[in-house]
A and B are shown apart, each in its own frame.
Chain A
Amino acid sequence: MIRVTLPYHLRTLARVNDEVVVTVDGQATLGSVLDALEARYPVLRGAIRDRVTLQRRPFVRFFACREDLSLEPADTVLPDEVADGQEPLLIVGAMAGG
């Protein structure tokens, strides 16, 4: 069970009020968790990463256990605390604008 925290606008889009929970087969990586998230909430496809290239959208960031994973590759293994549900994977809308 992996906890994922979404930014406000994506919670609204997915019609969830709080953290969401997903499960992955095998090792929990950044990519496999995003795959599971999009499979459970298809409306999020394209909102976090490009549908085709799977590249992170520029103003979306990923954090876990106080580490910025935004620039890490999709096969990055998530920390044990995220894999076992103690800590969430945070998906954050970057601060941008004036």
Chain B
Amino acid sequence: MSRVRVLVGTRKGAFILTADGQRNQWEVSGPHFAGWEIYHVNGSAVSPNRLYASQNTGWFGQMLQRSDDGGRTWEAVGNDFKYEGVPGTHMWYDGSQHPWEFKRIWHLEPSLDDPDTVYAGAEDAALFKTVDGGGTWQELPGLRGVKGDLWQPGAGGMCVHTIVLDPKNPDRMFVAISAAGVFRTDDCGQTWKPVNQGLKSNWELSDPQAEVGHCVHRIALHPSDPNTLFMQKHWDVMRSDNAGDSWSEISGDLPSDFGFPIQVHAHEPKTIYVVPIKSDSEHFPPDGKLRVYRSRSGGNDWEALTKGLPQKDCYVNVLRDAMAVDALDPCGVYFGTTGGQVYMSAESGDSWSPIVRDLPAVLSVEVQTLQ
């Protein structure tokens, strides 16, 4: 019998939500690391009880936690994140240069074939790697070598917030950085190239089609078709059919193409989900209606999914790492809000119900499908 385990990071701790394959009855465990900001909890695909959690406060800094029993017990592992060499400078809000300073880990992405190998996306933007289960971390400095002096922080900081591994090509991975754009490596992270052609940032950049500097909020792919990437940008929803070499807009008939997360259906590579947000000035759903939008055609044509979601007086946000899918059939879709709700649909989005309603603000949601 299949089970699902939902890993939720919040402003005040981590929560683990579990259910059997019916996804009707849920058990809630937590808060783990109560009082700490948990930006991300993620599990190994090959050893699902191996979990990693990024734990942080402004008082005491960055911690990394590891579990080998599915989140029942945790052990602090290495938290020494040093930039390689002289860290250098990046662009500050006013256009001046500002020293690189480590602040926190936003995202943890375990390797697809080794539970001890994990990539960590940092603020200030850098990519770190461990091969010993989190004991020690080394930066992959080639990333910051790609015009890092031109990267600048978005409103949420300058961070590597998305790491996507190519399941068909172990040498290839993608990262997304706010506000720098998408970068691809084809040699296991040694060298990188910006893959932002086709992005337009008319109000954010002096050169709207600059090679770097775009505020990409999230990218996603389907494992069966890793050359097709989907992107929720600051404004605009985009698609690339050539591994990021060029992008075209697929916002189509969305009520707003501003938003944070984007996800792909587990079994339908062209079915994608976004949560439109009114604007960069008003981070809540248009008209106070929380609507997930689904396209079954890889974008442009979108349908509003509203059944079970609040359709009046709803002013929460859904952050970039706070949407995930399970691998069951029908595909389950999950997302968390800044109001502390975690909603799920066991019907690919046709209807929704809350698993929990009153958690702290949700920063991240991951789902594990367990046998």
Q: A and B, one complex? A: yes
**Interface size grouping (class) on chain B:** 10 to 19
**Interface SS, B side:** loop
- B76–A60 contact, CB under 8 A? no
Residues of chain A within 8 A (CB-CB) of B57 are 9
Q: Are A9 and B58 in contact (CB under 8 A)?
A: no
Judge whether A60 and B60 touch: CB under 8 Å: yes
Cross-chain contact A57 with B60 (CB below 8 angstroms): yes
Q: Which residues of A contact B63 (CB under 8 A)?
A: 13, 43, 47
Check if A48 sits within 8 Å of B60, measured CB to CB: yes
Partner among A9, A51, A96 whose Cβ is within 8 Å of the Cβ of B60: A9
Contact of B59 among A9, A12, A43, A46 (CB under 8 A): A9
Q: How far is the CB of A40 from chain B (nearest CB, A)?
A: 14
Complex Cα gap A43–B34 (Å): 17
Contact of A46 among B34, B58, B62 (CB under 8 A): B62
A57 & B59 in contact (Cβ 8 Å cutoff): yes
Q: Say yes or no for A52: interface residue by CB 8 A criterion.
A: yes
CB distance from A91 to the nearest CB of B (A): 10
Q: Is chain A's binding surface mostly helix, strand, loop or mixed? A: loop
Evaluate contact between B58 and A59: CB separation under 8 angstroms.
yes
| Bound-state Cα–Cα, A13 to B75, Å | 10
Which residues of B are at the interface with A, using a C-beta cutoff of 8 A?
Answer: 34-36, 57-63, 76, 79-80, 82
CB-defined A-B contacts under 8 Å, sample of 28: A7-B59, A9-B35, A9-B36, A9-B57, A9-B60, A10-B60, A13-B60, A13-B63, A13-B76, A43-B76, A45-B80, A46-B61, A46-B79, A46-B80, A47-B61, A47-B63, A48-B60, A51-B80, A57-B59, A57-B61, A59-B58, A59-B59, A60-B59, A93-B59, A93-B60, A94-B59, A96-B58, A96-B59
Interface on A for B, CB 8 Å cutoff? Answer: 7-10, 12-13, 43, 45-48, 51-52, 57, 59-60, 93-94, 96
